[in-house]
Structure 1
């Protein structure tokens, strides 16, 4: 299987090359030329498999330059060895007769990014060997909160890699920031950026296209790659958990073979819900993809109107991982909707860069509306949902998951669609203790890591071990730069 740039179909490469590069030279995103289809009995075949076995089954069809033995080894290392505190890795919990929650936060950093970023280091280091690459890879990451810690943990002390994470100053939760700034490892770096996530993400993309920087790094035997979801090696492992969730519902006889489900995903950069779309393309009977946004509702407006417009007020919300106005992975979705017309994608991206907006034609808008529904939820409503879920179901959720539950309620009321729905839960509530405690009526909050115990004592829910361990860690990183000086931080780290 070959991978092509969304902006130039002539730029073709193997899976190993696509994963190592991270981003196409023209700024496009590497995407499969064709998507494999599950066999008619594929879902039944996987119903009694472990999560690790399902990962190999799915990823094998995309990675024909990797052997099944290699992928089995990587899956065992990524998802085994007590790295996840749930045997199922990504368990599906029933909330009510027609609603299920796919819990993706049982990994080492308590967020869904672990599902991909425990696998990506194995794929990337193997790709370097397959490409006979002798240089060291410097992985640049822009994070709105969870990707940073998950990438740091995944690549910590991995041979021939350096990793530098940029996050928006004052734009992540206190626990998220502490997770990153206490990160251990000799090859890691962390730096906050003045501005919001879009500033950090745009800054990282500019570094990839900086010819002078590329030459300077080449002299040092270093090249750049990415652990953001612009890298295909990040998106691919995310497809697995949607297939796995359907197989779990089959296995537990909650649905029958061929029954449709809906999937509701809280998303900012569009990577998580894009993976659900790819699972649908492979043959998983997903009826509707419900895109849930917070007050930064650029995706809601796009799905409803076909116009993408980032020229709007940016809000810092209690669901910071979704505080994004430039949704990078939407470019891959456009590529699919345009039937791989790279010239059309280039035009949209050019308009976005020049004016901050673009509008798709009626044909694409029709396709979009058929596949997706969308809604958004502000902070006040988010808090109400957290409180209601705890009161009615004794189920503790984080703000991002609350956004998804609220948007699902909106969709059901508007559409009357009673299809069984999987809500994607993206982070542990303990990563956002202040917001969750506020939603449960607490007005006086403990300071520092003591807030973890405060939430646990109130609810009886234990603090996840990786977050409890923060109490004894020293802060290593306290640097802040402007987006114009991010390049200096890269060169400093590699000096």
Structure 2
């Protein structure tokens, strides 16, 4: 397996080279040169194994210069009971009266976030990649975040030898202000900053840093490889492919679906686009996914592209109560276009040049039809999220975090309109305790949060929903609050040099 660029210029790279470099030198994104194909027996075999073995089996298909024993050992350590409990990535029926709607529970890791499933694999996989490339250099990983990805990166990479991480928290940071609480617990190799820029703007600036030859070469002169812990790096995509394959295997193995007699729908967030990209690759591998439903909030640029075949850049991003969806058009749209267009690097580059130069994408008729053949999108009004959370809680006794509740609502609306017979798997991406104020307003009453501290709200919410508080939030509540240093827009490159003592 080799990796090529969506722009078609960068020379093919080994998996280890692609993971270490993060992004290719031609400004594109790495994708596998060929997509591995699987059959019924391969898919059904996954459910017969513990999750760590199933995940390693998927990773083997994409990381071919890693040995089976290496990947199995890494996954065994990462997806341990200490990190994820007895059943990582388990599939759970939301309502006993509805056999067609299931949650893929991805909220049981150390930071109670979907990000744990990919971020915890970053250090060991990049360490193995370093061994294969024999470059003997240290690695600096940049990440833009609205909260959970940054927390996961800082927690995972703290004090890891030969790694440093810089997390830039966007102005749409999560309501609990968790990035501030986590700051005192960061390792000496961790740098956390706040920016007034949006997540989308930060992601673009990080991508510019990765393409800045002067910056990259300056760091190399100091024995540092510049890369990213965001999903621009393939290391963050392939773990998601693994849990999609696993979820499908569980559904078929338990008789909820019969192979050859129908497909399932996957309901994924827009966000940075990584979940959508991973779902596309799982489908292209042969996993029976009939429809991928992308959920956005009022920042509906990706929804417009999917449903209308066109996109126009917003003048201003809307800040909402669903910060993980506060992205108009994710960077990973490049991978989406590349795969939807039949891996046509030339046409992909044409559309992306239009986006860069004019702020628009207008797909032709055939390309629009290709996109809509298996993708659809729903936009939810985040101003209704409290009522959505309460409605689901009343019907199912599940206190779902605002994002997951939104995904459920999006699927139910889509299903009512389409009258689809696709059974669905919805990603459960986060803990409700990450959004204490939103959850309290939804379940304890409008205006309830006024005059109450986060610690009081957490205690009362825990009493209401009967769900144990994850350790990460106990540490945040009890920890010292420290204001993060501010990095202004267009200052990331300079900040990198200053933090490393090079400037």
Establish whether TM, by shorter chain, passes 0.5: yes
| Alpha carbons of structure 1 residues 413 and 170: separation in structure 2 relative to 1, 3 Å | closer
* 1:50-85 residue CA offsets vs partner (Å, 9 max, x unmatched): 110111111101111000000011101111141113
Partner of 1:134: 136
| Contact 1:101–1:424 (8 Å) recurs in 2 | yes
| Contact 1:189–1:477 (8 Å) recurs in 2 | no
Deviation at 1:477, TM superposition (A): 5.8
Give the Cα–Cα distance (whole angstroms) in 2 for the partners of residues 36 and 9 of structure 1. Answer: 22
Partner of 1:23: 23
Deviation at 1:192, TM superposition (A): 0.8
| Contact 2:268–2:294 (8 Å) recurs in 1 | yes
Partner of 2:448: 444
* 1:316-342 residue CA offsets vs partner (Å, 9 max, x unmatched): 111101101231111111111222221
Q: What is the DSSP-based 3-state SS (H/G/I as helix, E as strand, rest coil) of the residue aligned with 2:88?
A: coil
1:337 paired residue among 328, 336, 340 = 340
Give the Cα–Cα distance (whole angstroms) in 2 for the partners of residues 422 and 182 of structure 1. Answer: 37
Partner of 1:196: 198
Q: What is the DSSP-based 3-state SS (H/G/I as helix, E as strand, rest coil) of the residue aligned with 2:4?
A: strand
- Normalised by the length of structure 2, the TM-score is 0.95
Give the Cα–Cα distance (whole angstroms) in 2 for the partners of residues 291 and 59 of structure 1. Answer: 24
| Contact 1:171–1:196 (8 Å) recurs in 2 | no
1:408 paired residue among 403, 406, 411 = 411
1:256 paired residue among 250, 258, 265 = 258
* 1:256-286 residue CA offsets vs partner (Å, 9 max, x unmatched): 2344111111222211121111111111111
2:422 paired residue among 415, 419, 423 = 419
Deviation at 1:474, TM superposition (A): 3.1
Q: What is the DSSP-based 3-state SS (H/G/I as helix, E as strand, rest coil) of the residue aligned with 2:93?
A: strand
Partner of 2:107: 105
Give the Cα–Cα distance (whole angstroms) in 2 for the partners of residues 229 and 458 of structure 1. Answer: 36
- Write out aligned runs for 1:466-481 (5 A): 466-475=472-481, 478-481=484-487
Show structure 2 runs of 5+ residues with no match: none
Partner of 1:93: 92
Partner of 2:279: 276
Deviation at 1:129, TM superposition (A): 1.5
Give the Cα–Cα distance (whole angstroms) in 2 for the partners of residues 9 and 285 of structure 1. Answer: 32
When structure 1 is superposed on structure 2, of 107-116 and 168-177 the one drifting more is: 168-177
| Alpha carbons of structure 1 residues 449 and 217: separation in structure 2 relative to 1, 3 Å | farther
Deviation at 1:193, TM superposition (A): 0.9
Q: What is the DSSP-based 3-state SS (H/G/I as helix, E as strand, rest coil) of the residue aligned with 1:277?
A: helix
Deviation at 1:312, TM superposition (A): 4.4
Deviation at 1:177, TM superposition (A): 2.3
Count of residues in correspondence between the two structures: 494
Partner of 2:219: 217
Deviation at 1:170, TM superposition (A): 4.8
Q: What is the DSSP-based 3-state SS (H/G/I as helix, E as strand, rest coil) of the residue aligned with 1:405?
A: helix
* 1:398-443 residue CA offsets vs partner (Å, 9 max, x unmatched): 1111221111112111110022111111111110111111111432
Partner of 1:348: 351
Deviation at 1:380, TM superposition (A): 2.6
Q: What is the DSSP-based 3-state SS (H/G/I as helix, E as strand, rest coil) of the residue aligned with 2:407?
A: helix
Deviation at 1:472, TM superposition (A): 3.2
Partner of 1:77: 77
Partner of 2:462: 456
Give the Cα–Cα distance (whole angstroms) in 2 for the partners of residues 451 and 200 of structure 1. Answer: 31
Q: What is the DSSP-based 3-state SS (H/G/I as helix, E as strand, rest coil) of the residue aligned with 1:315?
A: coil
Deviation at 1:110, TM superposition (A): 0.9
| Contact 2:22–2:232 (8 Å) recurs in 1 | yes
1:492 lines up with 2:468 in the alignment:
no
Partner of 2:187: 185
Deviation at 1:475, TM superposition (A): 4.2
Give the Cα–Cα distance (whole angstroms) in 2 for the partners of residues 349 and 256 of structure 1. Answer: 40
Q: What is the DSSP-based 3-state SS (H/G/I as helix, E as strand, rest coil) of the residue aligned with 2:454?
A: coil
Give the Cα–Cα distance (whole angstroms) in 2 for the partners of residues 57 and 171 of structure 1. Answer: 35
| Contact 1:376–1:403 (8 Å) recurs in 2 | no
Partner of 1:52: 52
* 1:191-246 residue CA offsets vs partner (Å, 9 max, x unmatched): 01112111211221121122222232122111201110010111001001111111
| Contact 2:101–2:425 (8 Å) recurs in 1 | yes
Give the Cα–Cα distance (whole angstroms) in 2 for the partners of residues 223 and 336 of structure 1. Answer: 29
- Write out aligned runs for 1:341-420 (5 A): 341-420=344-423
Give the Cα–Cα distance (whole angstroms) in 2 for the partners of residues 386 and 178 of structure 1. Answer: 26
- Normalised by the length of structure 1, the TM-score is 0.96
| Contact 2:172–2:323 (8 Å) recurs in 1 | no
| Contact 1:280–1:286 (8 Å) recurs in 2 | yes
Q: What is the DSSP-based 3-state SS (H/G/I as helix, E as strand, rest coil) of the residue aligned with 2:373?
A: helix
Give the Cα–Cα distance (whole angstroms) in 2 for the partners of residues 81 and 462 of structure 1. Answer: 17
Give the Cα–Cα distance (whole angstroms) in 1 for the partners of residues 455 and 168 of structure 2. Answer: 23
| Alpha carbons of structure 1 residues 137 and 298: separation in structure 2 relative to 1, 3 Å | same
| Contact 1:311–1:357 (8 Å) recurs in 2 | no
